[in-house]
Amino acid sequence: GENVEQHPSTLSVQEGDSAVIKCTYSDSASNYFPWYKQELGKRPQLIIDIRSNVGEKKDQRIAVTLNKTAKHFSLHITETQPEDSAVYFCAASRGNFNKFYFGSGTKLNVKP
């Protein structure tokens, strides 16, 4: 099956700085890559996603890049704010029954 690795496990940045979280996947047939944000004790919420037919997608301060050849994708958050503090999960799916395989998560701490 698919194996998704995520780095770093923890990330601490100063408010206003940028944060980058990286994921690699093993299944070259994976074609959909969502990112989820999970606040403490709450359900994961989709924040951005990308499909394999594009290399980059941006939504305000959040962007995701995908390198299919290298099988890695990254989440970029610019101008970080304290409310960005949460655990972020990447995932990969090849579309069969829409099964997601998640990375181990990155705990982002934005210091005011």
**Contact status: 93 vs other proteins (CB under 8 A):** yes
**Contact status: 112 vs other proteins (CB under 8 A):** no
Binding mask 15-44 toward other proteins (x if CB under 8 A, else -) reads -----------------x-x------xxxx
**Contact status: 49 vs other proteins (CB under 8 A):** yes
DSSP label of 55:
S
Please list, residue by residue across 81-108, b when 16 or more beta carbons sit within 10 angstroms of its beta carbon and e when fewer do.
eeebbbbbbbbbbbeeeeebbbbebbeb
Whether the CB-CB separation of 88 and 75 falls below 8 Å is answered with: yes
When the beta carbons of 6 and 65 are compared against other proteins, the nearer one is 6
CA distance linking residue 19 with residue 23, whole number of Å: 14
Q: Which stretch binds other proteins (CB under 8 A): 11-19, 54-62, 77-85, 98-106?
A: 98-106
Q: Return residues touching other proteins (CB under 8 A).
A: 1, 6, 32, 34, 41-46, 49, 51, 89, 93, 95, 97-105
